[in-house]
Chain A
Amino acid sequence: MPLLSADKLTKSFGGLTAVSDASMDIEKGELVGLIGPNGAGKTTFFNILTGVYAPTSGSIKLEVDGTVKDITGFKPYNITKSGVARTFQNIRLFKDLTVLDNIRIAMHQNIKYSLPSAFLRSNNFYYEEERLVKEAEELLDIFNLTDKKNELAKNLPYGEQRHLEIVRAMATRPVLLLLDEPAAGMNPMETDNLTKTIAKIREEFNLTILLIEHDMSLVMKICQRIYVLDYGTMIAEGSPSEIKNSKRVIEAYLGEDVRYA
């Protein structure tokens, strides 16, 4: 049984079918890539998986603690609670809050003090808040962001903002991490850095990762398996070398080989 299995997902907006009959299976511990030309429906597919859109048809199943759970049509916060976290293509940090607060908000779903003790500041409140800060700092340490914990998120350099988005997603304690174009807008050095970070968190947290990416060198280097989406349908699936040599994929990116008479 795969960790996540999306079965024949379809999403139509009025007359436009952005994603049609797209299926995907992700095994535990895998690093899977999702590629495709611009407008192929990659982000829409992501948004269905994370509950931003409810699929027109199809189903999504997730294995949670050994049992299979149907998460089709769940609200985003419920999907996050079930163990799927995401980042955004256009950075969506809480810009005017500190780095630490960004992380602490993602940890909110796991806090163990009640609303009354928040109002009255019971001892439990102080202990839990201390634990939250400690755990947030541990996460920030991995990404070398600890000394920036009191900076506003908007004041971080671009590459670090991208990193912070990943840390924030990690703070929800996911089993599956979805990264939407994590290397977008990065220079080669920053991309290199990111590659290392992804490998590191995957190992340390025993994570399963699905990433959308345009940077082919990154995808080919780190992904074990790749899905290719074109005009809303999955046209290919396989290892990086299989994908590189797939005629369908080359056609999708470069156009068909047309011979004129």
Chain B
Amino acid sequence: MNSMKVINKKNILILIVIIVFYAVAQALINNGTINNFYEITLATICINIILAVSLNLVTGFTGQFSLGHAGFMSIGAYVGALINMEMNSTSGFLAGILAGAAAAAIVGILIGIPTLRLKGDYLAIATLGMAEIIRVVFLNMDDITNGAAGLNGIPRFTNWMWLFIFTALTIILINNFVHSSYGRACISIREDEIAAESMGVNTTMYKVMAFAIGAFFAGIAGALYSSYFYFIKPSIFGFMKSIDILVIVVFGGMGSITGSVIAAVVLAVLTTFLQSYSELRMIIYALLLIVIMIFRPQGLMGTKEITDLFKIVKKNEKNQ
């Protein structure tokens, strides 16, 4: 009975896939197939995956429509950057990520408690306002954040290895959460809040929990961002950034982690290749979104995960 359940076939398989994936990408970077230009795309993909998966927890799984994810990202970015600039070392970089994520989570809790009583569009407006307030605060804290000009010369520690580690961690941890009893409690809120409450789920607490966890990972993404692009300013984290993240979530499928990952990759690759047709870029991008929403309103994956695919294969084998 007391065998180690953690070490099972499935987990070992996942670990192998992760290591192979990392090694292949690292090899491609080393031999120059992925050049500096594509490396930026790679970084964008990783950061967007972290942002989208964490927003998906709030919007897709818990059903709380949030338009303020960029606000949490900016907290992580600024806190991370300030600590990073002060210490200028790998440990400083990691401390900055942790502190940034924790700060974002705390703000998430403080903002979540009053706003998460609201539903639907009202919550969307409230979270939008919250992100704007955070942005304006950074804009006006001249002494610390250098105002509208932003912070320049942030030491670069974010590289493929760290990006990969944090992206993989985000996916694994949020996936674990969603498939635990705590995650199911969050999903029950999305399905029917009144029924959830009657089944013993403290809905307010779980909404705030999902919000705080989402903010935590958005904070990590922000800190990684600031240490990759050297430079941050408040306007980067405006309303449009929140929309960008939401688009990835909706495009991939609300309630599908796999969907968010695929959508983050597809949209980033698309943007990169369309860069040479700058005048057509936004039109093609917008058209694609419209087409997807018409033909697959539930998003690319709906609420399905890649692991469901294996389940279907297994089922068919059994039936034969």
Interface residue range, chain A: 35 or more
Of the stretches A33-41, A113-121, A196-204, A217-225, the one at the interface is A113-121
Which of the 9-residue segments A11-19, A20-28, A93-101, A182-190 touches chain B?
A: A93-101
Contact across chains for A93 and B181 when beta carbons are under 8 A apart:
no
Question: Closest residue to A123 on the B side, CB-wise?
Answer: B5
A126 at the interface (CB under 8 A from B): yes
Contact indicator per residue, chain A 96-135, by CB within 8 Å of chain B (1) or not (0) = 1100010011111101010100111111011111001000
A104 CB to nearest chain B CB (Å): 6
**Are A108 and B176 in touch, CB under 8 angstroms?**
no
CB-based contact B200/A95 at 8 Å: no
Residue of B nearest to A114 (CB): B182
Contacts of B195 in A (CB 8 A): 88, 92-94
Name the one of B173, B194, B202 contacting A92, with C-beta atoms under 8 angstroms: B194
Does A81 contact B200, Cβ atoms closer than 8 Å? yes
Selecting from B134-142, B185-193, B233-241, B266-274, the interface stretch reads B185-193
B26 an interface residue at 8 Å Cβ cutoff?
Answer: no
Q: Is B6 part of the contact surface with A, judged by Cβ < 8 Å?
A: yes
In the assembled complex, the CB of B256 is this many whole angstroms from the nearest CB of chain A, namely 13
Most chain A CB within 10 A, of B188, B196, B198, is at B198
Q: Does A52 contact B (CB under 8 A)?
A: yes
Contact A80 B200 (CB under 8 A): yes
Answer whether residue A163 sits at the interface, using C-beta atoms and an 8 A cutoff: no
CB distance B196 to A105 under 8 Å?
yes
Please measure, in the bound complex, the distance between the C-alpha atom of A77 and the C-alpha atom of B207, giving whole angstroms.
14
Check A106–B194 contact: CB distance below 8 A.
Answer: no
User: Which A residues touch B188, using CB under 8 A?
Assistant: 94, 97, 105
Q: Are B200 and A106 in contact (CB under 8 A)?
A: yes
Assess the B182–A115 pair: CB atoms within 8 A. yes
- What's the minimum C-beta distance from A88 to chain B, rounded to whole angstroms? 7
B5→A105 contact, CB < 8 A = no
Distance, CA A159 to CA B184, complexed state (A): 25
Q: Which residues of B contact A80 (CB under 8 A)?
A: 198-200
Would A111 and B176 count as touching, CB distance under 8 A? no
Q: How far is the CB of A89 from chain B (nearest CB, A)?
A: 12
Question: In the complex, how many angstroms separate the beta carbon of B206 from the nearest chain A beta carbon?
Answer: 9
A94 touches B181 (CB 8 A): no
Query: How would residues 197 to 229 of chain B score, 1 for a CB under 8 Å from any chain A CB and 0 otherwise?
Result: 111111100000100000000000000000000
Q: Is A10 an interface residue (CB 8 A)?
A: no
A169 to B199, CA, bound (A): 7
- Report the minimal beta-carbon distance from A112 to chain B, rounded to whole angstroms: 10
Q: Kindly list chain A residues whose C-beta atoms are within 8 Å of the C-beta of B196.
A: 94, 105
- The yes or no answer to A5 lying at the interface (CB within 8 A) is no
Is B200 in contact with A108, judged by CB distance below 8 angstroms? Answer: yes
Q: Would you call B177 and A119 a contact (CB within 8 A)?
A: yes
How close is A75's CB to chain B, nearest CB, in angstroms? 7
Query: Closest B-chain residue to A165, C-beta based?
Result: B195
**A interface with B by C-beta (< 8 Å):** 50, 52, 75-77, 80-81, 85-86, 88, 92-97, 101, 104-109, 111, 113, 115, 118-123, 125-129, 132, 168-169, 171-172
In the complex, besides A92-B198, A108-B185, A108-B200, 6 extra interface pairs with C-beta distance below 8 angstroms are A77-B197, A94-B191, A105-B187, A105-B199, A108-B181, A119-B176
Which 6 pairs show the lowest CB-CB distances between chains A and B?
A118-B180, A126-B5, A109-B200, A94-B191, A80-B200, A92-B195
